[in-house]
Structure 1
C-alpha cells in the first residue's frame, strides 16, 4: 500500500498536463478516490486502484536507445517519447525492462558490443541521477524490494544477441552487468539465430553456437527471448532450454496473417507447454491487420522506387511523408490489443500472458488509448469490462512473467 499512497499524493499534486490525459481522467476526483468502497467501484476506479496496488512488469521499453539518439532526462517529465518518471508513476508501471537494443546493422562488429555497454551505462546513469525514483533490478526479489520501497525497477534485456560476438565469456560479462534476457536476433540473421524478418535462413533455426548459448543462458540465469526469431529457431529454443522462455514483445499471427514476427497458434501452444509467456506488443502494426497492410504497402512501394530511381533519389527521400499524407495511418484501438489477450487466454489459458508494450520502440504507431506509459489504467479497465477477474489481471500484470523469471533463477541455481 506504500506505493499506492505515494502515487496518490503525487498525482493529486500534479496537473493533468504533467501526467497525461489518460491518467488525469482515471484520477478525476482523487480527493476521495482512496475512500471508495471496493464493492461500489466503477471499472475505472478499480483499474486506478489495481495499477497502483500491484507490480506492473513491461517486457520491453526502448528508453536506452531513445536517449542514446537524442538525450532527454526521463527522471523528469519529457515532452516527447512514451516514457518518463511522472507518466510511469501515473500509469502504475513498476518494472519496465529497459531494452539494450543493438541494430542489426552493427552485427559482427566490435561496435555492436560497445553500443550495448554504452546503453547499459545509460540505464545505470538514470538510476544514478534519481536514486529516489529508480533502482536497478537483477532478480525477482529486487523487483519486489524496490516496489516495497516505492522505487521503479529498471531490469534490463538485450534486444539482439549480436554483442555476445560468439563468446560465452562475453555473455557472462553481460549477465554480470545486469542483462536478464536476450532476444537472440533482431531484423537479420546473426551468429546466433535466424530472424523472422530475414529470408536468408542460414542456420535453419539456431546456429551451433546459438544452441550452446541457450544452454549457457540457462546456466547463468538469463531468460531466452524468442521475439524476432524465425519459427524454426523458436521451436529449437523451446526444445533446448531447460527453463521457460518468453516472447518479450510479440503479438498474434492469427490477426496478422503472413507476419512471421508475430506468433502462430501452434507456437503459443508450444510456449505454454514450456511454461513460458507471450508479452503482447501494443504497436498498431502488430495488432491490427489494416495497419499491418498499410506498412507492407509502404515498404513495397518504397522498394519499387528504390529499384527504379536509386535509394538516394529525390523520389525515395520524400516518399514516406507523401505516402502518409495520401494514406493516413490506420491506428489500432485498445480493443484490438484486448482481442490478442483474449485469444491467448482462450487458446492456452490465463497463465501465459504478459505485457510487452514496445513503448519508445514503435514510433507513433501506438493505438488510441495506449499512447504512453500512463495508459495502463486504460488497459486494465478494458480487461475488467471484458470480465477478467482481479486475479487474472494480476497474472497478466506481473505474476506470469515473474514466475518465469523465478524458474530461470531456480534452474541457474542448480547448475
Structure 2
C-alpha cells in the first residue's frame, strides 16, 4: 500500500527549503488551521523575530525588580504581565526592544527624566548579568544574530519619550553609548522636541528647533528616529529633517480607528515608505479597532450596574463568576485577525517591505486581542498570515528583515558621518 505524506508533513519539509522552493512545494492556504499553526510555530522558532516595543523595564520598576528576585523574576513563568522567558521562548520571540519609558509627568522636574532612563537601562542590563544563559544585551543586528545562534533572548533598547534627553543635545550621544538604539521623540504631551499626538496644545506646530537638532544628531550617532506618539505635523517635519530611514516602533493604521491621531494615516504610511522606513504594528485593542473602546464601555457599565443592583463588591466570588461569564459571552476584544487586517492594509498600500511587529506588550494592559494575549502567541499571527497567502519570505521580512534593513541603513549613515 502506498504511503502518502500529510499536508502538515509536506509543509514541515518545505520550511527547510529556500523561500522559492517552499512556494512551489506547498500552498499554506490549503492546510487545516491546526496544521497551519504547527507550521507557524516552526517558522517562529526558525526565524529571528524582533518586536519593536515591549514595556518590561517599567513593569519591573513597578513590580519591584531586584537582583535577589524577591518580587518579579521574569526568568521563570510569571503571574500576570505579558512577558517572561518561558513564554518568550514558546512564542519564538528573539529580540524584544526594551522600552525605556519616561512618563511625560517627569518633564517638569529637571533631571528626573534622564535619571529614570539611566535607572531603567541599568535594570535591563541586570537581567543579562543575572541570567546570562537567558538574556543578553544587543546593540546591532549582528548582536541579535549572534545571540539567536546561541538561543539567548536579545534585549535591544529604545527610549520611549525624548524627554530623557532633557535640554542637552550632548545626551543624544550619551544615550547611544548607554545602548539606546531608537528614541521615540515624544510621548503623552508636547516636550522640548516637538508636539505629541495625544496633546492638542500644538506648542510648535510640529518639530521644535531643538527637535530638528535632535533628529540630526540621532542620524549622526546612529540612533533610529521613532515617530510613534508624535503629532502628524511632527511626523512630517521629522521626515523632512532625517537623512536616514525612520521607524514607528508601535503604531497601527488609522483607517481602522478614525480620528485617533496616535495611529498613522495612509498619507503618513506612504511618506514613511518613501523614506524607506518601517511601521511596526501595535497589538493594543484601542490601536487596532475603534469598536473596542465602545465594547468595553458597555461591558463595564453593565457589570457596574449588576454589582450595584445585587449589592455586591468586585471581590465577591459570585460577582467574579458572573463577570467572567458575561465578558466571555460579550467579548469586547478584537482578535488576531484584526491585527492581520492592519498588516494587509499596509502591504496593499505600500508593500510588505515596510511592515514590522511592535506589540506594546506590558504597555496596553488587558486590551490585547484574543489570540495575542502575551508573547507566547506570535505563532497565531503567523498562522493567520499564512492563511491569507503570505509566503515565508514575506513573514521573515515582517519578523525582522525590514527593521534590520532600516537599522543597518541608520548605522551606515552614521558611519559615513565619521
TM-score under structure 2 normalisation?
A: 0.83
Secondary structure of the corresponding residue to residue 37 of structure 1: helix
Secondary structure of the corresponding residue to residue 107 of structure 1: helix
> What is the aligned partner in structure 1 of residue 122 from structure 2?
121
> What is the aligned partner in structure 2 of residue 268 from structure 1?
269
What CA distance in whole angstroms lies between the structure 1 residues aligned with 2:246 and 2:350? 16
* Structure 1 residues 220 and 241: CA distance shift in structure 2, 3 A: same
> What is the aligned partner in structure 2 of residue 87 from structure 1?
87
The correspondence of residues 196-345 of structure 1 with structure 2, limited to 5 A, is: 196-293=197-294, 330-345=332-347
TM-score under structure 1 normalisation?
A: 0.83
What CA distance in whole angstroms lies between the structure 1 residues aligned with 2:275 and 2:354? 10
- Whether the 8 Å contact between 2:296 and 2:332 is mirrored in structure 1 is no
> What is the aligned partner in structure 1 of residue 13 from structure 2?
37
What CA distance in whole angstroms lies between the structure 1 residues aligned with 2:55 and 2:374? 12
The alpha carbon displacement at 1:292 in A equals 3.8
Query: Is 1:50 equivalent to 2:43 in the alignment?
Result: yes
Secondary structure of the corresponding residue to residue 80 of structure 2: coil
Q: Greater CA deviation, 51-60 or 67-76?
A: 67-76
- Whether the 8 Å contact between 2:227 and 2:248 is mirrored in structure 1 is yes
Segments of 5+ residues of structure 1 without an aligned counterpart are 1-31, 302-317
* Structure 1 residues 173 and 342: CA distance shift in structure 2, 3 A: same
> What is the aligned partner in structure 1 of residue 68 from structure 2?
none
Secondary structure of the corresponding residue to residue 135 of structure 1: strand
CA deviation vs aligned residue, 1:21-62 (integer Å, no higher than 9, x gap):
xxxxxxxxxxx9899533578311210111011100000000
What CA distance in whole angstroms lies between the structure 1 residues aligned with 2:121 and 2:12? 42
The alpha carbon displacement at 1:297 in A equals 9.3
- Whether the 8 Å contact between 1:108 and 1:165 is mirrored in structure 2 is no
- Whether the 8 Å contact between 2:185 and 2:226 is mirrored in structure 1 is yes
2:55 to 22, 38, 62: 62
> What is the aligned partner in structure 2 of residue 75 from structure 1?
75
The correspondence of residues 118-197 of structure 1 with structure 2, limited to 5 A, is: 118-197=119-198
Secondary structure of the corresponding residue to residue 333 of structure 2: coil
The alpha carbon displacement at 1:146 in A equals 0.9
What CA distance in whole angstroms lies between the structure 1 residues aligned with 2:180 and 2:191? 19
Aligned pair count?
Answer: 364
What CA distance in whole angstroms lies between the structure 2 residues aligned with 1:126 and 1:37? 37
* Structure 1 residues 297 and 245: CA distance shift in structure 2, 3 A: farther
CA deviation vs aligned residue, 1:376-398 (integer Å, no higher than 9, x gap):
11010000000000000000000
What CA distance in whole angstroms lies between the structure 1 residues aligned with 2:385 and 2:49? 15
- Whether the 8 Å contact between 1:33 and 1:45 is mirrored in structure 2 is no
What CA distance in whole angstroms lies between the structure 1 residues aligned with 2:298 and 2:278? 31
What CA distance in whole angstroms lies between the structure 1 residues aligned with 2:143 and 2:280? 21
Secondary structure of the corresponding residue to residue 164 of structure 2: helix
User: Which is greater in Rg?
Assistant: 2
Secondary structure of the corresponding residue to residue 100 of structure 1: strand
